[in-house]
Structure 1
């Protein structure tokens, strides 16, 4: 097998060079701290940027310059971005020309977006899932969600770091670590666990390294890093957004969604990427359906008359000593929800919560999918430099290529998968039906029906798995922060999992394709609490639009 002999240091130098070229060719000069009326990029919204672009106060090229400079400022510490698009400035210039000619594609026209490094781009950037195995590999086309963003006028300025293979390799690794991208860190405390697997997307959105990001979720990978980085994340129903040319874990659970600082921005991006795709048959469920207007769902009365259930036993089976402040904030939020018109129905427990928590079946289902779905993706590559064609050859590469950090970080999930049946085996279907029970009658969907609920609410730390098995949607919004008196809690790798000022979130979980209603609930809560602004990251990039406009 022919293998790439490039070193990690070389790749980091390439990334640094791209960052430098992006900034230097843009003429980035730090001039002053006077905002001159420009929106601060850590708080900028699509609306404020679109208004500035339309009013010619700045250009898309200016935005790209500023965001590239911001990435360069903090990336050496946080490892949030693995690559900057070397064509970003020319793409932005073309979009500026279109706007000058009176052609505006929509609210995302000229807006810079970062996407997770398992979402394919058919350009000069890599799509690697954080692995050296796919460095230099080429795809024949953009992922469908990539195409949709480009068609909407967004500038894809780079790829974000992630937990390698979307956290589907090791049982002894860390959130935010990939062999190619290194260890990503959250921005609210030094060496903070950024959560995973859309770690870099969470960090980047939080700090304004782009207007927003795309992430992917199989079980928690959008909502968890959104909550832990103090932003909004929408995990769509499986089948609402295409997974075509997204490096897979599971066809039954994977989904692509937005991660942004506000509910409305997340809704705008979801509007752009949602919809049927002939290359992803799961989206056929919406093929003849008119999608809701997710942006119009952002209303202050989004909680009025809404019935919200609390499955306390889901919290009980997963609580840990350090989650006390999170649960306190959750309980205090109930008054806010009631004041906004919601009806709280407490103790709407999931019958199978304990059995589900202790079951090994969910892992077996994901492994069964991964073997088959990964092979399909790899066989579709137009250039495969290391001839990685299956999980067997991927494991061989990973265990023998020094920069993959094996055996320090193991391949136990893959080892288990290769000893198990895959999703073409007759044993898969009955096992999958049992797994569905944990999210249906025994879990989220059954509880929604039995208690006539519009949604279930949980601290985001406890939410993801309840929706994952059945592909149901979740919207998470900032809920609070650990108090100044909180102890610093570290995992066995030294990552900080809780500390003074680190964020956590509140999740709204609903029936399939209930995104519009969940967005309305989340928006009403966000607007009434404004939690995001109640704490600040310890590290913030300083470059702003005024530093690049006219430079």
Structure 2
């Protein structure tokens, strides 16, 4: 695909290594790469199939790319992310000319005073912040019955593999933009499936890290106990490079204290194509497979067979004893109000919204634009939780979640069967991993006849990302299931 008058670099499915090689040879510049992505966004996201995954473009992206090109000429590259264009989910702060709205019209003019910690890290690594991706409004805390990938500010994100099927949420725009080659990689955030779900439905790799591995400072929150940012990319290698670029200790995020000394120097060092040899992987058949279609089950079982052929010991079943005992938890509802109000209070006196109550009032004043699906969950969070995290049910649920999902859940099954990882179909185990605060990596595993992708997710214990990256990379390299969506056929 031509991206400039005299440049013929195939942008589709290009990896970060491909881009760096083209930079080094003089075949490509970061500015030309940014222009290429902007053209694809115009042709396929805002025209053609109207995927609607990109919410805003950084007006300074080309200037930043030019600066990275010049720095490369004078000093050489900073590292693997130098000059690489990435998108951020719209709940990640940037101290620039783009607002951080979480998809809400009430926050359409809300500009953060500074970059989120992980954005500073990306910029320090030389990445070009291309723009922000659309998302499920307030990370699906807006209301009930609203489709994943919808926001009042951005509209509906569409799945490029089949526009009649869901995108997954809430990092829908990040997943679609990566899948459709609108950026090299993207940042998503997860509270309970919001990276893993769109990664599976968009056939991309998603790393949901241990809570506390990456800083949450400067990210519009949902839950203080479960939120985490994470990378989404087309390959495990690119996701690992993004993860590495975002790491760093932030003393403003108390969750990071537990990970001191547990992070490797380089996550890319664990990209081992033989990583499945000798690994013990458990399959929790009870409960997690009940909603699968026969076609999805066949894709999953094929993936398990491939892992066995590649040298893994498959423990099947390795059931999680507490799978059927976890229930609705009030943790997210209670933490959302407290976390959001704390975030809004730090935006400064000129911020358009300072409280959740003010956002609800704004929506009531602009119902046609903001309340297509209502705001039931926002109202419940405001009026049915104290915001002080002293509610009896909240305190009970928080302790129960840790016991059932971590201690008696993932920890217990991994210890009983001496597992390196638990393997879930798609994102069906995301709720367990989220409540435990544990990491997962989603990898493409195939496609259904109607087009929608289907993946598998490896889950392990806290700070075991290196192990998960090794397993996911080996599976990816042994299968190469991912294929790009056929966007061109939808263009006149």
What's the TM-score once normalised by structure 1's chain length? 0.85
Question: Does 1:374 find its partner at 2:340?
Answer: yes
Determine helix, strand or coil for the equivalent of 1:466.
helix
- CA drift of 1:43 comes to 1.0
Question: For 1:67, which of 18, 21, 37 is the aligned residue?
Answer: 37
The aligned residue for residue 81 of structure 2 is 108
Q: Which among 426, 442, 453 is matched to residue 460 of structure 1?
A: 426
Offset of 1:434 from its aligned partner? Answer: 0.7
Tell me what 2:476 maps to.
Answer: 526
How far does the alpha carbon of each residue in 1:472-514 deviate from its partner, in whole angstroms, 9 at most, with x for none? Answer: 000010011112xxxxxxxxxxxxxxxx121011100000110
The corresponding residue for 1:360 is 328
1:184 aligns with 2:157: yes
Q: Partners in 2 of 1:59 and 1:202 — Cα distance?
A: 25
Distance 1:290 1:190, change over 3 A: closer
1:474 to 416, 440, 448: 440
Q: Which residue of 1 aligns with 2:13?
A: 43
Q: Which residue of 1 aligns with 2:486?
A: 538
| Structure 2 contact 98–111 (Cα < 8 Å) conserved | no
- Residue 395 of structure 2: aligned partner: 429
**Offset at residue 382 of structure 1 (A):** 3.0
Looking at structure 2, the residues matched to 530 and 122 of structure 1 have their Cα atoms a distance apart, in angstroms, of: 38
- In the other structure, the counterpart of 1:135 is 108
Contact 2:3/2:35 (8 A) holds in 1 = no
Q: Does residue 241 in structure 1 map to residue 207 in structure 2?
A: no
SS of match in other structure, 2:67:
helix
Report what 1:17 is aligned to: none
- 2:221 and 2:489 mapped to 1: Cα distance? 33
1:414, CA displacement in angstroms?
A: 2.3
- What is the deviation of 1:42? 2.1
- Can you list the C-alpha shifts for 1:42-94, whole angstroms capped at 9, x where unaligned? 21111110111112111111011111111111122111001111100110111
Could you tell me how far apart the structure 1 residues matched to 2:162 and 2:490 are? 18
Structure 1 SS opposite 2:206: strand
**Which deviations, in whole Å up to 9, do the C-alpha atoms of 1:13-51 show, x marking residues without a partner?**
xxxxxxxxxxxxxxx98769xx85x3x222111111011
2 CA distance for matches of 1:42 and 1:234? 22
CA distance in 2, matches of 1:292, 1:306: 23
Structure 2 unaligned regions, length at least 5: none
Which structure is richer in relative contact order (CA contacts within 8 A, separation 6 or more)? 1
What are the equivalent positions in structure 2 for 1:154-173 lying under 5 Å apart? Answer: 154-173=127-146
Task: Report what 2:148 is aligned to.
Answer: 175
Report the Cα offset of residue 455 of structure 1: 0.4
- Count of residues in Structure 1 that have an aligned counterpart in Structure 2: 485
> Aligned partners of 1:301, 1:348: CA distance in 2, in Å?
23
Separation of aligned partners in 2, 1:118 and 1:404: 20
In structure 2, relative to structure 1, the CA distance for the partners of 1:412 and 1:402 (3 Å cut) is closer
Map of 2:361 onto structure 1: 396
User: How many Å separate the matches in 2 of 1:29 and 1:293?
Assistant: 32
Q: Which residue of 2 aligns with 1:409?
A: 373
Q: CA deviation at 1:375?
A: 0.6
Q: What SS does the corresponding residue of 1:180 show, helix, strand or coil?
A: coil
Native 8 Å contact 2:3 2:33 kept in 1: no
Alignment of 1:515 with 2:465, yes or no, is: yes
Partner of 1:99: 72
The alignment yields a C-alpha RMSD, in angstroms, of 2.0
TM-superposed deviation, 1:167? 1.1
The TM-score, its normalising length taken from structure 2, stands at 0.95
1:348 lines up with 2:318 in the alignment: yes
Residues 139, 383 of structure 1: 8 Å contact kept: no
Q: Give the secondary-structure state (helix, strand or coil) at the position aligned to 2:230.
A: strand
**Match of 1:440, SS?**
helix
> For residue 504 of structure 1, what is the aligned residue in structure 2?
454
Deviates more, 1:419-428 or 1:130-139: 419-428
The SS at the match of 1:107 is coil
Name the SS for the 2:267 alignment partner.
Answer: coil
Range that drifts further, 70-79 or 115-124:
70-79
Please tell me whether the aligned partners of residues 53 and 172 of structure 2 are also in contact (alpha carbons under 8 angstroms): yes
Greater mean alpha carbon deviation, residues 396-405 or residues 135-144: 396-405
Q: Which runs of 5+ in 1 are unaligned?
A: 1-27, 484-499, 544-551
Provide the C-alpha distance between the structure 2 equivalents of 1:194 and 1:75, rounded to a whole number of angstroms.
14
